[in-house]
Amino acid sequence: MEWWRTAVFYEIYVRSFGDANGDGIGDLAGLIAHLDYLNDGTPRSLGVDALWLTPINPSPMFDFGYDVSDYRAVDPLFGQLADLDRLIAEAHRRRMRVILDLVPNHTSHRHAWFEASRRARTDPHRDWYVWRDPAPDGGPPNNWVSVFGGPAWTLDPTTGQYYLHSFLAEQPDLNYRNPAVVQAMEDVIRFWLDRGVDGFRVDVVHKMIKDAALRDNPRPPAGTEHPIRDYGGFQHRHDEDQPEVHDILRSWRRILDAYGERTMVGEVYLFDPHRMAAYYGNGHDELPLSFNFSFMWSPWGAQAFREHVAQSETLLPSAAQPVYVLSSHDAPRHRTRFDDAQWGEARARLAAMMLLTLRGTPFLYYGEEIGMRDGVIPPDRVCDPVGKRFPSVGRDPERTPMHWNAEPGAGFTSAAEPWLPIGPDVEHVNVAAQTNDPRSLLSFYRRMIWYRKGSAPLTRGAYRALDGPADVWVFRRESPGERLLVALNFGETPRALPIDGAARLELSTDPARAAGALTTRTLALGPVEGAIMAIE
Ligand code: GLC
Ligand code: CA
C-alpha cells in the first residue's frame, strides 16, 4: 500500500517552528533541530510519518511565501538549498517524508517571468500571465474579485492593460492556457523530485485555470456567504474549477507515478463535495490526496462530523484516499474553535481520536498536539495581508511560534521579539511541561499515533458507521481478522453502549482510564470521552 495512505502528516509553518539564528523567524536549521521530537523511531516521540513545509522559496513575503519569486531556490531567511538537502536527508533517516508547498496558480510580481511579462505587450513572457484591455469605461475587464477583497485586476500603466490576480496585486496569476507555462511548472515539479522531495502540497489547485472568454461571474443565490467580503458576492462559475484543470492534474500524476513513491495533496477549496471529489479523477489518475475542507469547518458535534465523512465515503471514487484535517495556517486553530471553559481539553482529545481513527490520511498542524490556541495579535503587530484588510479573519493568530518551553521566546527563538507574539497559556501549553506527563495532551497524541501505526484496521481497514445514541458517533474499522469499534461521545452526559461480543478497551481519551478487558457487555462512556475497543 502506498505510504501516503497510512501516513500521519504534520504541517509545519516554517516561520514559526524553530529559529536557529535568533532573528525571530523560524528557519530550516531550527526545524532540523526538532526532528527527533517529531519522530525518533520510538514512542517517546510524536511519531508522525511526513512533514508538509509551508513555502520556503525566495519571496518578497507579501503573502508570507505564497508569492514566489524563484521556484528553484530557498529564501535566505530560511537557509539555503544545502539546508533543505540536509533536512530531507535527516528526515528520511528518521523515516519521515518531506513534502513542499507548490504554489502554481500565481507568482510574485517580482518573479522574473512577471517582470518580463509586464515590460511590453510584445515580450515573449507577455502571455505567461493574464492580460486584458480595460473595459470601455476604463475599468477592469470583468467583474471578478480577489479572494482577499477588491477587484481581481490591476491596471499596469507601462502597457495600459490590466493583469489578473486571484489574491493580492503582488500575486499575478499565471496563464495555464499557455503550454509554455504548463511546461515550466512541470519542470519545477521535476526539479524538486530530482532533489529528493517526496511530493507537494499544492496551493489553490481549483483556481489554476479560468474561463477562456473571462466571462463575468453571476451573483449567488441569497444566503450563501463567505467570511471575506466582496468575494462572497459572486458565484465563482468562471474564475475557478474549470474542466481543463483536470488535464493539468492528469499530467502531474503521470510525473509522480514515473518517479514512484511520491505524492501530492491538493488544496481544492470547494465546498460542493461533488466538485471536490472530481479532483481525484478516477481515483488513480489525478490528485492522490485532497483536503476535505467541509470536515475542517464543521461545527462541533457527532452528527455534523459524521455526515461529512458519510458524504466523502459515498462521493469519492473507491480508490481515492480521503484527507481529514482540523487546523491549518489558514483557519483558526480547532483548540480555539472548539474551546469551552469546562470541556475544552476533553474536546481536544476527542478531536484527536476522531482525526486519527477515521479512514483517511490525517494532517496535524504544528502545536495542536500540545493544545496551542490562537494567539492574540495587537493591531500594530498584524502581519497577514488578510488581517490588515479584514481584522476579524486575519490568519496571524494561528501562525504564532511553537511553544517548546515556558522561557521567554518559548524555546522558539532567542530574539527579544519573535515575528509574531507568543500565544496564550505558554506555562502549561508547551512541550517541556507535557513531555513527561502521561496525562498530557501531548502524551495522548503520541499514544494515539503509535497505536494507529501498529493497527491494520486503523491504517487500512474499512469504515462503517453504526447506530448509536444521539451525540455519540460509533463506527467500526475492520481489516481481515481484526475489528475495532470506535465510540466518540461528543455530548456532556455519560452514555452506555451495548457491545456484542467480548471487547477490550484499547485506548480512551480519559487519561485516568486504563486499557483492559470489559467486564460487562456495556461500554460506559464518560462525558466528552472517546474510546477504541478491540472486538472479538
Ligand atoms: C492558499 C494558502 C494561503 C495563501 C493563498 C494564496 O490558500 O494556503 O495561505 O494565502 O493560497 O496563495
Ligand atoms: Ca531565523
* Residues, Cβ < 5 Å to ion ligand 2: 19, 21, 23, 25, 27
pLDDT tens column, 105-141: 999 999 999 999 999 999 999 999 999 999 999 999 9
How far does the centroid of ligand 2 lie from the alpha carbon of residue 393, in Å? 27
pLDDT score, position 519: 87
Question: What residues act catalytically?
Answer: 203, 267
How far does the centroid of ligand 2 lie from the alpha carbon of residue 486, in Å? 42
pLDDT score, position 501: 86
pLDDT tens column, 354-385: 999 999 999 999 999 999 999 999 999 999 99
pLDDT tens column, 441-491: 999 999 999 999 999 999 999 999 999 999 999 999 999 999 999 999 999
Q: Which atom of ligand 1 is nearest to the CA of 106?
A: 12
3-class DSSP assignment, residue 433: helix
What string of DSSP letters covers 143-173?
Answer: --B-TTSSBSEEEETTTTEEEE-SS-TTSPB
Half-sphere exposure of 332 (CA within 13 A, CB side): 19
pLDDT score, position 226: 60
Q: Is the CB of 63 under 6 A from ligand 1?
A: yes
Cα–Cα distance, 336 to 327 (Å, whole number): 10
Q: Which ligand is nearest to the CA of 29?
A: 2
Q: Is the CB of 167 under 6 A from ligand 1?
A: yes
The pLDDT of residue 345 is above 80? yes
What are the residues facing 153 on neighbouring strands?
164
Query: CB burial class (10 A; 0-12, 13-18, 19+) of residue 55?
Result: buried
Mutate to test the pocket of ligand 1, among 111, 203, 389 (most ligand atoms within 8 A of CB): 203
Instruction: Report yes or no on whether pTM surpasses 0.85.
Output: yes
Q: Which ligand is nearest to the CA of 414?
A: 2
Q: Is the CB of 203 under 6 A from ligand 1?
A: yes
Calculate the CA 396 to chain-centre distance: 16
The pLDDT of residue 224 is above 80? no
Calculate the CA 281 to chain-centre distance: 21
Task: Name the residue with the closest Cα to ligand 1, atom 7.
Answer: 204
How far does the centroid of ligand 1 lie from the alpha carbon of residue 66, in Å? 6
Cα–Cα distance, 363 to 296 (Å, whole number): 11
CA angle, 183 then 186 then 190, to 5°: 135
Q: Which ligand is nearest to the CA of 15?
A: 2
What string of DSSP letters covers 48-64?
Answer: --EEEEPP-S----TTT
Residue type, 284: H
pLDDT score, position 165: 98
Mutate to test the pocket of ligand 1, among 57, 103, 167 (most ligand atoms within 8 A of CB): 167
pLDDT tens column, 227-243: 556 888 899 999 999 99
